[in-house]
Structure 1
């Protein structure tokens, strides 16, 4: 996506040079970015770095200032793929509400179609990059008397709509970047847009960090020295009656509210240029020792599940006061043919980094697998410097992508290798990019093994790469193994996310956690379950539904690294101003979907569908649609209108006043066994730019000048200087190149 999207934006920016803005064509210099303790990562290219809107240009002849029409020489041909011209942004505001480890983000702004003639129209693409594990909640758009609103529909209700829709209408351009197409927007129109999503707060060493993409390139600022309003409002409610210590912030926030466990901030100012830094904010909850609590809340009257809601949390306290279990680790690395290239290289880099962090007292082994199993050592070895160096060399020489995928055999070997662990918590890390036929039998095998092994059974953490592996199998396997799960859908994030998983999962400080009261309630649904260990890196948060009554005091019991027992008193309190049902809804949907896959339960599938439809959070059994209406505004929060939309889907699918468009799937699915067996690449390996595209890119450099020179005689003159083969190739590229003023040599020949 990066290459294709950036190339289209570059092309669009060059075409936009045709536009004349009058006397105020100079854009004022951007203000320097606010000082941060840690600068945001620099993202190369022209990919979206904040919510943005683009004019989709197939015909470059329509590009002009809608208010000041100017003479534009005719441009022959069409753009294929279409050029993307970033629209000028008039205003932007963001509201963020942080609860526990989840942030709800809502961005509102307006954009103007400044680059299309008033008598013409173009499609407009809305692109929304989200933060850590972002999940889209809804989009509302109003433009020229038309309103658009995203909604969820049950899978079976959308079966007849698939033939009427195309993938380019909306979906994910790449992980965490949501896209939506608005058709036929007139030049000069204003698009008012509100986008809502939620994302996870990143927790490292007990510090919570919020990061929201908020870098607006200079070219979205309209020409002229004009002040524009930029606003950010942030509310933090930890739900914990302890002091919150602010650590870093990217923008000059003004504190407007402070209570125990709660903070409120506002950033609002008039600017000449929009924000050039991601919005980042981090904080810590002050505590020296392990502590926990229990939040209780009643469901809303509209909730179909009327069981009570709970949230149980355990915080590790300061790392200096805790002792981590000695590590016994087995790494399982997929080296099948489909891992070839960057996926395997990044996985190997992350594995080498994980080995370097082991202490001489820790022990490890490595198993590389395809259809066969390849062992670094048949038993665990101490992580002494020489052994780690040998292991790194072994990885380089033996982890070569080839063959198929067999997960059961290497996992069995790893389980046996850790069977004798008594004074430590064995850890298995499984890294794969494929789906296999015996996934359910693997889960049953691990479940049986762990049940017989008791509290000393190894923890299993899983990491999925790409879209072909079954992420629900990997999530289920991690739940059964009381470990952690993560995934990377693009090559660039493999190294970072794998290292983070290794660091988090291999640092338990309290193991074999039990909450006895769960077994004495009338009914109780806990997720995740079995309960994972408390690690030093981040808190342990459990949530669920229950029937019955909690006693006045509840204890959480576990085992420390020195093998002594520990009991923690959990303070009970009613959750106020915290929407527990919304905070954990995505995790609940993911857990129940994994269980539905594992048990092949239709009842659980129907339950997930109900939860998804009620909450507006997408699932494997629901699809997102875009509803277009004329002359009215729709709010996607309205349950009544959601019901009306489902009724309208059949009646008005082809109406000019009411139109429903099915968006492409927004969920990972249940893996692709056929693609795995055929060893198809994961889909995000670096792609080389075709030669024709490179020529096209060079040709667009002279767009502004070529618009005044390109003509058929010039092109014929150019072809006459080429041999026959070149003439054929050049002729085939004619229509694509002509919209950029033909080739650079065209200008040179015209000047001969």
Structure 2
């Protein structure tokens, strides 16, 4: 991502050649921004140049093409070819955000219109559209449509084999990183409008009885066109389908939403206004559902004609309620990867995060720590009772023994952790696996774990998994967490490791209901269960 930020920085420098209608330069940065960018250039690109909202960029290889399209200005001729190309952020004319919240997910639709304000009308360039999907909320792109003049483009789901055979076409769209989706539109003429619609989904966060969602909607100053040239109309609409017939309370919102109507368990909110500048903060919305006791419901969805999956589906959901509840006493084993790739900051951040997690255990809980690479090392030969002395001793042990070296062997420490937890009674056994690696026997690990979970029944430990970095096999960790009835999460950037691990631990350790059984399956010939937990279950 440093290359991306550096290309944007080069683009902003090139855009200083522009003289916009009215004889004025492009919008200036806020006070102190230029100074910060200059100091950042000395040590590397400014991370604030990475997209924090859907953005469009002119991909410039020939600096001579840079000029205002409507009123060309005198530009000293420049020579040379930019390799890699610079990225000039395009000014945005319109934006419309629609968020539909239902159960544990938010489905987002964003429509925006940009114009290619930095390329003379006699020339063209590629335009790159980038959409941040919300890294911490596990966003997934659902589709995109783009219109440029009489040309239109849309995304399409293709088979994996077809993707491999047509690898060259991936350059026109895909993922820059797991949380950054991009599309490239070729040969867009200077002055043209680019109209795009993006659809993606994000997980709703649930904490202390409150549902919330954060949508990337923070537009930088340089996408604001001159107010005398374009009137900026911003529209945000949100629907909350709680699924409960209980009273719903709005806890907070980042933008001035007004409640328009309530229809049963559905709420409708709207914000529409002429604004001086586009939104400069993440869109946040949070609400709570009043319930003094555990409550829930069932959604049934018949199969749709011509659907790829022609099976009927149902969703059973539970809400813990707002009353004071006790979580289970816990017996936890942290299984930490100490292979060579964990060297440096990643392992240091993991140490701090595990220390924080240990400090949040209470008297009556039990714990242990297992580290693994080519070998296995344990803090203790048995589970230790939680007390100040044991926690301090474990922290000292980690500081002395968590050294990154060797390879990755996951099955051995998992088996050891299960053996440690096999003797616990009247506690909820849990395994927390933290790794940045990939292994060759993922299928066998999942199958072996599934067999162990089945054989142990209700006494089987829950296995939660956490992946570090983009080279980790995140799909395997998701599957292992699903088999182990635990929680999965990840940190793709080193700086977010500690914070994300602590959140993951709190979420996975706040269990108040376990081993739920459903006695309505006797009349079904076949069914498949997919476990999705956003709270303490």
> Following TM superposition, by how much is the alpha carbon of 1:539 offset from its aligned partner in structure 2, in angstroms?
6.2
Measured after TM superposition, the shift of residue 29 of structure 1 is 8.9
The answer on 1:538 being equivalent to 2:535 is yes
Deviation at 1:393, TM superposition (A): 2.0
How far the C-alpha of 1:223 sits from its partner, in A, is 2.4
Give 1:412 shift: 1.6
Higher relative contact order (CA 8 A, sep 6+): 1
Counterpart of 1:12?
A: 11
Q: Find the residue that maps to 2:64 and give its secondary structure.
A: helix
Alignment match, 2:81 = 78
Match of 1:145 among 135, 147, 150: 150
Matched residue, 2:516: 513
TM, length-normalised to structure 1: 0.66
Shift of residue 437, structure 1, vs aligned partner: 2.7
CA contact (8 A) 2:511 2:536 kept: no
Asked if the contact 1:30/1:273 (under 8 Å) is kept, the reply is no
1:195 to 178, 193, 198: 198
CA distance in 1, matches of 2:283, 2:272: 13
Q: Tell me, in whole angstroms, the C-alpha distance in 2 between the residues paired with 1:157 and 1:436.
A: 26
* Bigger helix share: 1
Find 2:185's aligned residue among 182, 187, 190.
182
Identify the residue that residue 420 of structure 1 maps to in structure 2.
423
Which position in structure 1 is the counterpart of 2:218? 215
Where do 1:23-38 residues align within 5 Å? 23=22, 25=24
Aligned-partner Cα distance in 1 for 2:131–2:309: 32
Question: Which of 236, 253, 259 is the aligned partner of 2:257?
Answer: 253
The residue aligned with 2:388 is 385
> Which 4+ runs in 1 deviate beyond 6 A?
26-31
1:431 has 2:430 as partner: no
5 Å-filtered alignment, 1:654-673, equals none
Tell me by how many angstroms 1:438 deviates. 3.2
Describe how 1:246-395 pairs up with structure 2 within 5 A: 246-318=250-322, 320-395=323-398
Write the distance in 1 (CA, Å) between the matches of 2:85 and 2:27.
29
SS in structure 2 at match of 1:265: strand
> Within 2, Cα distance between the matches of 1:496 and 1:487?
11
Aligned 8 A contact 1:244 1:262 in 2? no
Cα deviation for residue 468 of structure 1 reads 3.4
1:479 Cα deviation after fit: 2.4
CA distance in 2: counterparts of 1:440 and 1:175, whole angstroms = 23
Q: Verify the 8 A CA contact 1:25 1:224 in the aligned structure 2.
A: no
Native 8 Å contact 1:239 1:261 kept in 2: yes
2:530 pairs, out of 521, 527, 552, with 527
Q: CA deviation digits over 1:552-600, x for unaligned, max 9?
A: xxxxxxxxxxxxxxxxxxxxxxxxxxxxxxxxxxxxxxxxxxxxxxxxx
Which residue of structure 2 lines up, in the alignment, with residue 741 of structure 1? none
Quote the Cα distance in structure 1 between the aligned partners of 2:18 and 2:423.
Answer: 73
Q: CA deviation at 1:472?
A: 3.2
Q: How does 1:455-494 map to 2 (within 5 A)?
A: 455-494=458-497
Tell me how far apart the structure 2 counterparts of residues 285 and 29 of structure 1 sit (CA, whole Å).
44
Gaps of 5+ in 2: 31-45
Whether the 8 Å contact between 1:315 and 1:539 is mirrored in structure 2 is no
Q: TM-score, normalised by structure 2?
A: 0.92
Q: Secondary structure at the match of 1:436?
A: coil
Write the mapping of 1:615-630 to structure 2, written as runs, cut at 5 A: none
Q: Give the CA RMSD over aligned residues.
A: 2.1
**Does the 8 A contact of 1:26 with 1:223 survive in 2?**
no
Residues 28 and 272 of structure 1 are in contact (CA less than 8 Å); yes or no, is this contact kept in structure 2?
no
- Indicate conservation of the 8 Å contact 1:295/1:312, yes or no: yes
